[in-house]
Chains A and B, each alone.
Chain A
Amino acid sequence: MTKTVVISIPRLEPHRPPPGPAIIAKICEQQGHTVTAYDLNIKFFNYCKKQNVDYHGFDQVWNRFADFDLQQSEVLEKFLDIWCKRISSEDYNYIMIGIFGISGSVFARAFLNKLRPLTGAKIIIGGMGAGTAGLTDPEDCLGYRLKNEGLIDTYVVGEGEGAIVRVLNNEIGPGINNTEVSQIDDLDSLPQPDYKFFNLDEYDYLFPNEKEVFITGSRGCVRKCTYCDIERYWPKFRYRSGQNIADEIIDNYERFGITRYYFTDSLVNGSFKAFNDMCEKLARYKFDHPLSWSGQFIFRDKKSIPKNHYELVKAAGADILFVGIETGSDRVRFDMGKKFTNEDIDFQFEECSKNGIHVIPLMFTGYITETIEDHRENLLAFQRWQRYVADGTIVGVELGTSLIILPGAPVERMIDSHGLTFVVDDNMEPDLKLWWSEANPDLTIKERIRRKLEVHETAIKYAWPVWRQASRLRELKELILKHELHQKDIQKFYKLVPTENQTKIATFSKMGEL
């Protein structure tokens, strides 16, 4: 019998079990393997607690802003010793490691450096983190580098459900040891995450004694917001039927008593029909304990919203909707590809308010086309919608970073047309947060920083529930210090232009110092 272990690693939120490994574990079981799953993220979280070490103190390390301090280094070392010995002693044929994002790369490397010499098992990595690459060479991803270093046997990029079966059958193809994107069209046919592989009692639930899990209703995004790189990973938007999503929720409720969900979708209501169907099914089901779910949500043109829609959404269990309103400037929001206005936002805040649905607006400052007038309109938003903070509809606000020119995002394809110039670091790598545009010359880097601070101060002036933003400010300060933006005018730039052999993910060559 083939023995397989599926492992997730930090950094993940400690509040819910990881769905990706729960799906992969299920697939391996369907393939006849004896499967064990370890969520080393929650194990590490609890280990840190026991050792009286701040788990979240590692964030700066996972974000690669800082190195381990002595205590962190010792704690991680001991933790890895324990788990690498245990895993190697359990004699698996396959060790599958899910790396959620780029913030998993530091742990992954430390883990693999210890584990690889101890085991003859085939080590396979997957998850978004495995395919994370830089702007200049998309093939040079974490998986590629780890494989070249002999730390893993295979890396899977993109959707793993199909790829992992092909890997087990020694097949090759898109997403297996390459960054080609292969998408699965029929999401309803995929196995659902099976949480029996995890100990659901060891999580740090946001609401004590209320189990919460992730759920995915769609992949990709129905919108093409210019700043977002989702299409790089999932070019096509696909979604499950409303019935299928509701079935998963009801099944988890009946098997494990789970009543709280967090949607991982780019937009939980990306498909209006599927979302509406799900809401109707959930609103009809008799839960003994109230169901509640949260997730990212799109506000639409108010004319397209049926009467009583938000009443249904509430009846289906909506708790917190994270809504990318982005800015208080209609013009800039349209430039971003979001086709709704401040009036549409007024209407939907009011609907949420009437129906007791909470909202966390997601915003950011300094879009590529933002003028000083747009910025002033943006500032007015905090007064305009303060009423919804006061009545408890708006329960948080994400003020974001300034615009990052993400590889694969539509805005990356505007580099040439907007004449973007980037600051480079000591290794002559462009910093994607530090740019300015010939087409909008007033929006200098300093001006963007100034506007960000002014937005932050305005949010505070109007008593908005600014939340988790001090860390963003600290990162901004680090960035300023790193590039010495405070000490001199920025003189070192690289201009980046598309190469002739541009792939669907644009690649760029350095043209030399200006």
Chain B
Amino acid sequence: MNNQRINSSSEMDGNIDKLNPFASDLKEFFESCKTLPLFKKLPLRDELEVRKQRLSGGRYLFRPCGIGLHPNESNKIALELLELLKKHLCDRKDELSAIADAMIQEKIIANDFLLQIIKNEGNQIRKVIRDNNLAEDIFTFFAIYFARPFRQFASEYLLEGLDKLNWFSGYCPVCGHWPGLGHINSEGGQRTLWCLSCNSKWNFKRTQCAFCLNEDHQTLQILNPENEESYRIQICKKCKRYLKEVRSIIEVKNFPFDKYYLGTLPLDVIAEQKGYFQESMLTVRYENSEGNELLMYRQKVEFD
């Protein structure tokens, strides 16, 4: 019993539903990737107790050094993904084709490029963009989703056996990227954070900045579009970062995070307009066991 307004007609709901075809194709694509051989050599995985200790110490689990991939598979996956994106992002078809061409002509070796993404080698990625004269934003987008099946596999592999994550840091416990979306359970109000890069989910305190860990409620706020109570961003006046959140009756395990991540772009606009930001999706937190300082490896972007 509370005064929470329940939206009978939500524009955002409508917006998100229109993404259903794209979302379902994307989901099918990820599912099909699961059946393929992704890793020739699996990422390093410690014993369960050691993994628990790593997490207690704020150290994320995924260490990409030493992994082995299947070059042909990687290439196939890249091209398939590009076709999917071309189908749904019609107005960016040409730019996507340019990327595909570059891969077919082996100006970009899909497998090498994939390793660069997984290892968070931002400088290299920027070089590829420049050398091939590609659209920076769509390429970044493609890169994240290209690496996704691999990182997602790694996440499931590394989290095996860990039911309750003793995790209190401002980044993903698997791959170290910052969370892309927060899910708030309609019943009980628990917040779960989701990583766009590897699909990991972890429980996180509501009244805390998911990035700098600020807990002062006077410097944290919730912004939501008028009449859209279920869609909101948590802003932190201390670090100026924001997190998109969706309050939903759909349980976490069934929640289509990708669909909502893409469909809530208006929230990113709001954040930008109010002066809040998120680092590039390619950003990862370097391992740093001392203090709360968040060392971000930022993507420097040149404006036109």
Q: Do A and B bind each other?
A: no
Binding site for B on A (CB under 8 A): none
Chain B interfacial positions (CB closer than 8 Å to A): none
